[in-house]
Structure formats: C-alpha cells, structure tokens
Homo-oligomer: A and B are copies of this chain.
Amino acid sequence: MSLADEILQGNVRAAARLMRDVEDGAPSAPEELKKLYPFTGNAHIIGVTGAPGVGKSTVVDKMVEFLRKDSKDVGVIAIDPTSPFGGGALLGDRIRMQRHTADPGVFMRSYATRGHLGGLSRATYDTVKVMEALGKDVILIETVGVGQDEVDILHAADTCIVILVPGLGDHIQTMKGGLLEIADIYVINKSSRNGADELAADLTFMLEMGTQRSSRWIPPICRTEASTGEGVTGVMDAVQRHWGLIQEAGLREQRERQRARTDFLEILNSSLIREAMHRLGQRTVDRIVETIVAREHDPYSAAEDVIRNFFKKAR
C-alpha cells in the first residue's frame, strides 16, 4: 500500500512520514501528493498571528480544545521563527501543546522559518494538503507573521486571526502596515490588563478608517484571557460566522482558486529549475560559474543562453 493510500485511511504515521519526505525533497513525494490531491481543498484553514509573547500558542490550544468538543478533526501547523537570537519562550509553548498529542483527533506539526527546500510556504501548503487528505476539518496555522513567506501563508488562509495584548503601546502606529488587510478577527488577549479598552477603541477607530477584505465583514474584536480559556467561545463564534460568510459570498472559492494558482506556479517553478539542472549537468554548471567568476560572462547572459538552448523554437 502506498503512503497516500495509508494516509487516506487515516494513518497518522504515514502522514508524518510523507511530510518528512516533502521536506527532504524525496523524489517519491510528488507522486504521493498527486494521489492525495483529489481529497484536498475542503478544510477550514485558519491563520493565527501576533507578536511573540501575545499568547498565540495558548489561544490555539484553547481553540483546539473547543473544536475537539465539537467533534472536529484538527490539524495544527506551528511556524517557529528561526533566529540565533531570543525565542526562548517558544519551547514552553510547544510543550504546552503536547497535551493534545495523545488525542488522535489532533495532528500537530512544527516548522522552523528556515531550511526548507522550496521555501517555507511550499512546505506549509503541502502539509496542509496532507492534513486535508487525512480528514482534518480545521487546520490552524500559527505564525509570528514576519517575512514574505509567513505573510503569504496568512494571506492564503480562509480566516486570519490577529492577536494583540494591551500595553505594548506603540503598536497602533506600526500595525497600520499590514494588519488591516490581513485580519478577519482581532483578539485582545490578556484582556484583564490595563489598556484593553484603549486598545479596543483604537482598533475600532482604525477599522472604521481603513478598508476591509470584504465590505460584508467588519472584523470583530474579541477579548480573551486564554490562560483560563475565558472568551475563547466568542472567538470560535466569530470564526464560525466568518466561515459561513466566505462560503456564502463565494470568497472561499476565490481563496481556493488563488491557492491552486500558487500551487501550480510554485511547483512549475521548482520543476523547471530541477529539469534545467538535470539537463545541464553539474559539470556544465561549474563551467558556466567559472566564466562568470572570471567576468568573461555575466549571469544574465548565461541564463539567456541556457534558456535559448532549452526551449523548443515553435510556440
């Protein structure tokens, strides 16, 4: 039985194995993903973002708990910022999530922000596919949201939750950059802290000033105390309403079309370069590099020459 068959029968180990194969660029992985593809595209993909320390993992943890009580199968993809600096708190968050590992209805996968063949977003999208094929109803993607890849991932989600905490002070100005277009739901976590009302008022003001993803949806502002679970029901209620709206309004289909386009173009892109490398061969690449180092040639012209040689003349 192929990995794909096992995954379609709900085999979690087979799913984990294929995810590793995808990450390692195993030649067998695309064949398995092909077989899974017809069974993908149905999960509700939820992006959860916020600065380090706002309690993303705790909120996600409580959301998982809620969804499990509702008999939903859940996938969690946690993207950990890879940095030589800081980030010591992350491991604790991960450990906290471990309590769901005994639950077969929860599949959890962590990714670092670097070191992925084909990029972080590619690895994440393929993981989403495997989780969908495994029968997950809801997939939560947790990320700090820094860098192009992570922002792309948030844009590709059906519903995006942005978490803030009171008292960080200056983030109102700095968040203007990208949050308004990304957020479908705001969560003010640690909302018993001073400044929660001001933060909510500022957000409301900004939302009234700014543009929304869809005029039919004004991002609600939910308040939580995720460590106790307070307010999480309100968040899940907003999530459900958003999911209902985007399906009704055809936005879900639009997002799915966008994901299919990205999938196709990214896979085409990596296949093109792989095929080109294969046809050139390592020795020819080395020779070309030497002429570039010697400045006899420039990389732009060298690439043009290769392309002229590769493509069929006729269109």
Which A residues are closer than 8 A to B by beta carbons? 30-31, 33-34, 37-38, 40-41, 49-51, 81-88, 113-116, 119-120, 144-149, 151, 162, 168, 170-171, 173-175, 177-179, 182, 253, 256-257, 260-261, 263-265, 267-269, 271-273, 275-276, 279, 285, 288-290, 292-293, 295, 298-304, 306-307, 309-312, 315
Contacts and interface: CB of A to CB of B under 8 A. Distances in A.
Contacts of A34: 298, 300-301
A272 to B, nearest CB: 4
A268 B284 CA distance: 14
Given A171-B85, A174-B86, A264-B289, A303 B271 contact: yes
Contact of A260 (B260, B261, B292, B315): B292
A293 B171 contact: no
A51 B298 contact: no
Nearest to A40: B295
How many chain copies? 2
Chief secondary structure at chain A's binding surface: helix
B302 A264 contact: yes
B82 A177 contact: yes
A116 B148 CA distance: 9
Contacts of A285: 261, 264-265
Nearest to A85: B51
- Interface centre among A253, A298, A302, by most B CB within 10 Å? A298
Contacts of A88: 170, 173-174
A231 B113 CA distance: 34
Contact of A174 (B30, B38, B87, B260): B87
A229 B266 CA distance: 47
A144 B87 CA distance: 14
A298 to B, nearest CB: 4
Given A113-B148, A115-B148, A120-B148, A264 B288 contact: yes
Contact of A147 (B82, B253, B288, B300): B82
Contacts of A256: 293
B174 A85 contact: yes
16 contacts: A31-B300, A34-B298, A86-B171, A88-B170, A113-B147, A114-B148, A148-B149, A263-B292, A264-B289, A265-B273, A267-B299, A268-B303, A271-B307, A272-B276, A279-B311, A310-B311
Given A146-B113, A272-B272, A275-B311, A267 B86 contact: no
Contacts of A147: 81-82, 113-114, 146-147, 149
A146 B147 CA distance: 9
Contacts of A253: 293
A28 to B, nearest CB: 12
Nearest to A274: B307
Given A83-B177, A85-B175, A260-B292, 4 more contacts: A82-B146, A83-B174, A83-B178, A116-B148
